[in-house]
Amino acid sequence: MKKKITLELSTTDYNLLKDIADACKWPIEEVAMQCLKSGLPPSLSKVPAAFHDELLSLNALSDQALMKVADGKAPAPKENSELYKKANFVALRRTYALSLLRWRGHPIEHYELF
């Protein structure tokens, strides 16, 4: 099912989309959708549903708090279930935090997960 939204764009943004659409020979709507898809925060589609709420809550953190999660300096939830261990939730949480930081425009090259 599709939902329709209306956006007001500046002339500059509209012209940029239009120029790209013309160059690609795509409808401007497809270019806008591609921009949305590539510009959204990381998807959780391949992450077990049991982790979605905890990972999505990271979106509300400040950049500084996300950096602490990415650095492994923020306490992780104290869940000891087999699923948390099998999925290596701590690494998953750090990776998601790094993805959010990258999405927010921060360089992440200096981070190591392991």
Looking at the chain, which runs of residues are DSSP E strands? none
Only one residue has tokens 């200096």, namely 110
Over residues 25-75, the pLDDT tens digits come to 999 999 999 988 888 888 899 899 999 999 999 999 999 999 999 998 998
Regarding pTM above 0.85, the answer is no
Q: Taking the CA of residue 86 as centre, how many other CA atoms within 13 Å lie in the half-sphere pointing to its CB? A: 7
**Domain extent listing, the chain:** 1-40, 49-103
